[in-house]
Structure 1
């Protein structure tokens, strides 16, 4: 029997390659930083399994290009809005993702962004090469996290991880909002369920940890920013589409809010002429929330677990919810 063909839209770790090789799969993988769409469609032709990440759109066009051999799509991510689930389901193609393994990495980065914005770390670091230090007592004053109210939009695994870390900083309150109360998680971290409007009004720091879907797309608009305290900061480690980005630019320009820290934005990569780059109180990172050795090793194993199960006609251990 001919080996199953697998295409990966990104270059796999050495361990992942060895494991796939031991399973006897015929692996084709891209080494390009950004795989051109036409090349992607050409290389998925006739494959049995696709490994992808969140930068790769797997839609009806992709499934048409792959053809009837395709059995499974395994995305190397927690999020899955880049996969057309309805179309895959209609064609009987299993879809899997890699939940749970990113919690620590992303929660760590959320705290990193909070502290970077509050303590003006990027602004301060930019002074070092210039030599223009200032000894005035009011120079480069930031704010401490102790005593602040922090609102978490979405108290899922990552939101809970953020809340756990916040407790060590002596915050005054942890608020959270979502579709419904998460009583067990809230009890573990001492968080209070409030309405979305109440959260944005009362919080000194608002941290977006929810998934991107129809109800959260452009959840944060200019009208929402106007509800926030003028000193409040917004942190996004979820998906760029949760914030209406041009409205965030306006809020920063008009000093409606105190600052922003974003690991995700729209589009990605962010254009080098983006207005977000104008504001020193806006800290931007290139979507590195999951970029730790530990997280990627764990994600790789989950991704291959899903792939292997799908190619063997078994239920996936980590299927994408339908």
Structure 2
């Protein structure tokens, strides 16, 4: 009898088809996981879960007595209750590394787009305004090159952003993280700052931390007030790492010049969110890793993690290694 697997929300087609050949794999997308009878029936016998954004908590785990592994198609895993998974000796995995450069590209594109007002001026041309109105100083953006970039979170993605900024745009790199990284300081001529000092000093601020209890609401009213009025804030982490209303207030009061956001407190973002009506805010729908090449690589790595766990082998990207024992 084939092992049962649940695929949820996002597994690239070639990978999903390969899993369906090997396992009794059912794909579900954006369902009510607490009440969908097909999902719950399959969950009661499933040994593996692969996918994106499925909340795996105590309630779900009570309904999955045979579960061996949960494989996130994401580098983030705030949807997983690691404590509950570990208590049940269930393996949890993610997909780091393969998306590093793609997410860094996204974050840096938001930075450039906000600085040079690309979306706003794109609409200026498309609306026909350029025909009757010349470009005036009020349409000008600001330079990116030779400015100071503050990076909050100097993991793999933070380092990839620093690489683009330092070598591509001759920017001065400041960073703040849980620990100092001498190799990063040497490679990018970067300087470690305390958070407050980084906020006061930087022309551009990129937030790229994982969402944890410590980073939830990390940037709020006080932090936005510390930033230069000319600063541009970029969030490529998770929406709840900032207090979104405080960002809105800072932009409305001109305490902050502009923002670029790939993530929001609530996703999908509500259509009446004030951020969507602000010309100085560049928005994207959480597309950090969303290229054809990278999404396929992430699905392939997630499937590799899944199959290892299903077959008694150590997955290559194990989040909770304390549950692993050699078979």
Aligned to 1:287: 286
- What is the total number of aligned residue pairs between the two structures? 316
Q: Does the CA contact (< 8 Å) of 1:149 and 1:171 recur in 2?
A: no
Q: Using a 3 Å threshold, how does the CA distance of structure 1 residues 11 and 103 change in structure 2: closer, same or farther? A: closer
TM-aligned CA deviation for residue 18 of structure 1: 3.8
Question: Which residues of structure 1 form unaligned runs of 5+?
Answer: none
Aligned to 2:324: none
Q: Which of residues 64, 67, 70 is equivalent to 1:70?
A: 67
Q: Does the CA contact (< 8 Å) of 1:145 and 1:169 recur in 2?
A: no
Q: Tell me, yes or no, if structure 1 residue 176 matches structure 2 residue 144.
A: no
Q: Which of residues 61, 82, 87 is equivalent to 2:84?
A: 87
Q: Tell me, yes or no, if structure 1 residue 128 matches structure 2 residue 121.
A: no
Q: Normalization by structure 1: what TM-score?
A: 0.94
Aligned to 1:244: 243
TM-aligned CA deviation for residue 149 of structure 1: 0.4
Q: Does the CA contact (< 8 Å) of 1:163 and 1:189 recur in 2?
A: yes
CA–CA separation in structure 1 for the residues paired with 2:110 and 2:135: 26
TM-aligned CA deviation for residue 128 of structure 1: 2.4
Deviations along 1:15-54, one digit per CA (max 9) or x if unpaired, are: 20343245x2111112x3x22232254542211111121x
1:110-189 aligned within 5 A:
110-133=107-130, 134-189=133-188
Aligned to 1:192: 191
Q: Using a 3 Å threshold, how does the CA distance of structure 1 residues 65 and 294 change in structure 2: closer, same or farther? A: same
SS across alignment from 1:289: coil
Q: Does the CA contact (< 8 Å) of 2:152 and 2:208 recur in 1?
A: yes
Deviations along 1:87-110, one digit per CA (max 9) or x if unpaired, are: 011111111111111101100001
Q: Normalization by structure 2: what TM-score?
A: 0.93
Question: Which residues of structure 2 form unaligned runs of 5+?
Answer: 322-327
Q: Using a 3 Å threshold, how does the CA distance of structure 1 residues 89 and 192 change in structure 2: closer, same or farther? A: same
Q: Does the CA contact (< 8 Å) of 2:108 and 2:161 recur in 1?
A: yes
Aligned to 2:98: 101
Moved more, 9-18 or 142-151: 9-18
Q: Does the CA contact (< 8 Å) of 1:42 and 1:65 recur in 2?
A: no
Aligned to 1:319: 318
Q: Using a 3 Å threshold, how does the CA distance of structure 1 residues 50 and 90 change in structure 2: closer, same or farther? A: same
TM-aligned CA deviation for residue 136 of structure 1: 4.5
Aligned to 1:3: 2
Aligned to 1:58: 56
